[in-house]
Chains A and B, each alone.
Chain A
Amino acid sequence: MKAKVGAFTAVVGLVLATVGVLAHHSFAAEFDANRPLNLKGVVTKIEWSNPHTYFYLDVTDPEGKVVNWGMEMGSPNGLMRAGWTRNTLHVGDEVTVEGAQAKDGTFVGNARAVVLAATGKRLFAATSQTETPQH
């Protein structure tokens, strides 16, 4: 069952990731699909707004240093069609984020999917990225 769920979400993830559903400005101008991100952290701030919703999370590295990352997602109307509401994410929630880092190497990324640790729920971020990384 677990393997089936994994395969299912992998297929769905691949399917969604190839569609430029909600690109507003150019993904490729700011983010690098070859700098994939997989971050675990605690949400510190949420901006539920157009043209992109942002949320920020504190990520602790193995040495214990905390870095605050900013993640860009799609617009509220796009997110709602992907199952989000403005209250899906709260400050203090533990999440895992998959996405791509900014080209300039700053602590900024474009989110492709977010998993809420409390429920295990995985939501796609109505992202503008359209290519899954090759790894």
Chain B
Amino acid sequence: MVLCALSIFVIVLLIVTELVLRSDLIWAKFHFDFFYKAYFDPTTGLPNYWDPVNGQFSALPFVYGTVVSSLLSLLLAVPLALGVAVFLTEMCPIMLRGPLAFITELLAAIPSIVYGIWAVFVLVPLMREYVNPLLIRTLGWSGFFTDENPTGLGFVTAAVILAVMILPIISSLTREVMTAVPHSQREAVLALGATRWEMIRMGVLRNARIGIVGAVILGLGRALGETMAVTMVIGNAPEIHRSLLSNGYSMASVIANEFTEAVSDLHRSALMEIGLALFIVTIIVNALAQVLVWAVTRGAPARAN
């Protein structure tokens, strides 16, 4: 039994060792430059980050793409998730609570490839025809929404589908954290004459806010590592543009797209190093989230979902 439990550590160690070993080629050549150096094509002066043919590797566009799409998706998902959690815990009639909770759980169980195929065939045309032009018209003055990319792919579409995917995680964890707040807190605020929203704000959210931050960070962790749905809608262009509607690339997407076709050892090593970076970042983010959630639900075993 102890051996079985120790296998968890063995798995982590194996993953780390293999990734570190296989990325030594690219590490020896580039060291930390791999993650932030910007290379420029000598003839045209345009940036040229990822050039497997000439052995030029810089992970900057992928880091940028992952960060931008994840943060944007958090921006979209967190208000909605909090709204759902507040509704389900405090405002929902008891009869509806079960079915609605089941439906949100179902959202979490849908595999990402199904999200991806739906996004490619339904969401992308929707964005292309209606949402992107609207964004350009209303928010184009900020410089973040230009019409250079009429395909409907890009960071915003990826952020939308990511938001749909991380929403159930954030909302279910927030619900758990909110139910862990003792009823005495709610009753105390109500006894002082608060309206329902004031009771929620002062009695529940204030006590649960550490856990809610943990839930949001857990959602971020999932968004950082999401591969399939993002690969299909982010546009797969290793470039950095200011416009949020432009095509981009994320760390997990480049591994999924290029690994089977990588010819040189250096290319494979570069992809392994991106995988290692992804592993380390998600471990840190998830560990932080677990600690925060544990601080609020202290002692009660966390649900595996």
* Bind each other: no
The chain A residues found within 8 Å of chain B, CB to CB, are none
The chain B residues found within 8 Å of chain A, CB to CB, are none
